[in-house]
Amino acid sequence: MPAIEGELTFGRLRSMIAEQQLGWLPPHDRADDEVVEHYGLGADPDSVVPTEEVDELELASLGISPNPFLALRQAERGIVSRYELTDLFSERLLRRLGLDEAVEAGETPPDGGVPSSVDWRSRWGQNWITSTRDQNGCQACWAFAGVALVESMVRIEHATWTHLSEGDPHRGVGKTCPDLGNMGEVSTFFAGKGFCDPGSWPWRTDSPPYAPTPDRNGRSVRGPGFDVVTVANSKNWLDTVGPLVTWVDIYDDFYGVGTGVYRRSTDPANVFRGGHFFLIIGYDDSLGAWLCKNSWGTNWGMNGVGWIGYGENRIDNFGRFGVRNVNPDPWTKRRLHNGNLYESGNGTLHRNLEVVGSNGSRVQHVWREGGPTWKWGTSASFATDAAVSPTLTGTTFNRNMEVVYLTTGGRLHHWWTGGGGGGPWNDGGVFGPSGCNGVPGFVQGDYGAPGNFEVVVSQRGQLRHLWRDGGGWHEGPLFGADIKSSGPTLVQGTYGAPHGNLECVAVRNDGTMQHFWRHEPTFTWHEDGIFGAGVSSPPVMIQGQYGMADEQGPNGNFELCVAVNGVVQHWWRWNSGGGDLQWRHSTDFGHDVAAVTGLCEGSWGMNLEVIVLRLDGQLQHYWRDGAGWHEGAVIGPA
């Protein structure tokens, strides 16, 4: 289509850049006669404050980061001491990460200043930034920037990928596609209600009444209001905390950014279009530029990311927005735990460990604070008919914690406690067929909202699938053969669409383990690989996040722990390796172990946390960080 007079074409844009020697390029695949597309903006200046009017934040007042890489960075900068580091992280891990001599000696080194560059797409060999989104021409940059900020901080503070909905704050504050918005509105909404996932309320360009699913409260990342950071302190924040939302003025040439460092053309044809918010995810002093994640899809910049020169388009004129201490929801964590262990959002750092055990017929709930002093405490006890340690999960029903266990009569029993586990525990009733054995697998799936409960348990040499919807519990098919025992291995993975396949592992009568999965389009269970030997106790399995590039995938690894001959065997399956889906035995650890009862991938840098039942009837904690497996505290009687 020929350009209309006054419209900027890519040919004219290239000429403007060349004439002024600006040093950047539009996308190379755009024809000269192609009109530079205008994207949505939407920034209302009401919440921005000139940077000189923003109070400076003292980095030391923010406390030590829960991310071990950042905590070490704070120590290297002299912001925190060695003693604060070793309160949170093991000496073995810190040495492996490169604890320097000054910190080892217990001294506080002088602040060496900010580094010359930061890029949160590749810090410490990892990506911490979610994928590029598209505001689809709506004036909604403020919602997209705020959500991108929170998503990145969930990854940084909890080692967890999450996908949140820009439509939630957008419609939640009453805005429609043409409306401007500001970061004050986003911050207030987040502090009051959090941000939910797209399954609860999606991003849409039309304007339906705001009506998220009834379980929105249990599938929303929460946190405080946003901090405001000066431009002068931005590099400090980017180095030791995380990304920042910033304001920028938009001119016509900015729509055509491709590679290189953007610097604005002063050509009279370069028309001012309005204000915009996006996320600063790094900087480079050698380039003299900020690295920014935009919300105009992947055709802008370099797959949605671009370099913006320091001071360009008033990018350095106003205070910026950051956030700390975010609290992931049960939906975000739903694949990362199994058995009698769950990492809740309770505690100062929102990462308490919750454990339920059964010593005889009574169920005991214990918990550990997610930071110093790491003490285990006893909570409520309940039930009179538990034959095994229950399988515990957090659900979207008001962040309830819920358990299912095998009864002494060979059936299944459900209990739940509301308000994040604050109690009391409520009896959900006995269900299922008679003749069950082993430990049940129990998850909340994504059928319906709130999602159905799914259970798999062994029954007379096979596996039985049961589920609960609004009409109560239903018995599904029997599958498998020659099964000795089920374990808490049921997950709804990321294979399959629109619903993930159900996956589980069971112990066979010959002492091997077998993997099963359910094909979602046909609801049929299939047998998969057989692995291991000499297994007599139930395994525990999760789908973790090793191997994932961002929140879109690839599929994270399966991690499995099982007791064999008094030690714990760790097995894993590389799910991001294409056709290589073999189970691998990585290592053995522990001693005097009768059974593994719980496993989760926690917030401590994707550490694996394990609970075992010892031969003496006590529960004990183990964990794995980058330095290997560690023996933790004996918690108490199961």
**Which residues in 335-363 are b (16+ Cβ under 10 Å) and which e?**
bbbbbbbbbbbbbebbbbbbbbbbbeeeb
- Residue 497: the pLDDT is 85
Closest CA to 610 of 521, 531, 548, 541: 541
- Residue 85: the pLDDT is 85
- Residue 47: the pLDDT is 86
Asked whether residue 347 carries a pLDDT value surpassing 70, the answer given is: yes
Residues 59-102: tens digit of each pLDDT? 889 999 999 899 989 988 889 887 888 888 877 777 666 655 43
For the question of whether the overall pTM of this predicted structure is more than 0.85, the answer is yes
Please give the full DSSP string across 302-358, using - where no structure is assigned. Answer: BTTEEEEETTGGGTTSB-EEE----B--TTTTTTSEEETEEE-S-TTTT--EEEEEE
- Residue 91: the pLDDT is 73
92 in the Ramachandran plot: left (φ > 0), alpha (ψ -120 to 50) or beta? alpha
Cβ atoms within 10 A of the Cβ of 590, count?
Answer: 20
Residues 90-128: tens digit of each pLDDT? 777 776 666 554 345 555 566 678 999 999 999 999 999
d(CA 449, CA 427): 22
Closest CA to 388 of 535, 543, 596, 566: 596
- Residue 83: the pLDDT is 82
CATH (residue range 337-637):
2.120.10.70
d(CA 155, CA 324): 12
Average pLDDT over residues 599-616: 93
Asked whether residue 5 carries a pLDDT value surpassing 60, the answer given is: no
**Which residues in 482-501 are b (16+ Cβ under 10 Å) and which e?**
ebbbbbbbbbbbbebeeebb
- Residue 591: the pLDDT is 98
- Residue 396: the pLDDT is 96
Residues 516-530: tens digit of each pLDDT? 999 988 999 999 999
Q: Which residue has the tokens 């403020």?
A: 142
- Residue 3: the pLDDT is 43
Q: Which residue has the tokens 């000496």?
A: 91
Residues 167-192: tens digit of each pLDDT? 999 999 999 999 999 999 999 999 99
Asked whether residue 1 carries a pLDDT value surpassing 50, the answer given is: no
Q: How confident is the model at residue 286 (pLDDT cuts 50, 70, 90)?
A: very high
Longest dimension (CA), the chain: 84
Percent of the chain with pLDDT over 90: 85
Closest CA to 558 of 583, 522, 521, 586: 583
Closest CA to 195 of 150, 260, 246: 150
Q: Token pair of 221, please?
A: 């990342």
| Mean pLDDT of the residues in the chain | 94
Residues 557-579: tens digit of each pLDDT? 999 999 999 999 999 999 987 77
- Residue 104: the pLDDT is 57
Residues 532-556: tens digit of each pLDDT? 999 999 999 999 999 999 999 999 9
Between 100-104, 129-133, 262-266, 415-419, the lowest mean confidence (pLDDT) is in 100-104
- Residue 419: the pLDDT is 72
For 86, the enclosing helix (H) or strand (E) is: helix 82-88
- Residue 2: the pLDDT is 43
Q: Which residue has the tokens 């000696």?
A: 105
Percent of the chain with pLDDT over 70: 96
- Residue 313: the pLDDT is 98
- Residue 87: the pLDDT is 83
Cis peptide before 424 (omega within 30 of 0): yes
**Contact of 213 with 192, CB cutoff 8 Å:** no
For 142, the enclosing helix (H) or strand (E) is: helix 141-158
Q: What are phi and psi of 155, to 5 degrees?
A: -65, -45
Asked whether residue 299 carries a pLDDT value surpassing 60, the answer given is: yes
Q: What are phi and psi of 547, to 5 degrees?
A: 95, -10
Quick check: helix, strand or coil at residue 11? helix
d(CA 200, CA 216): 6
- Residue 106: the pLDDT is 56
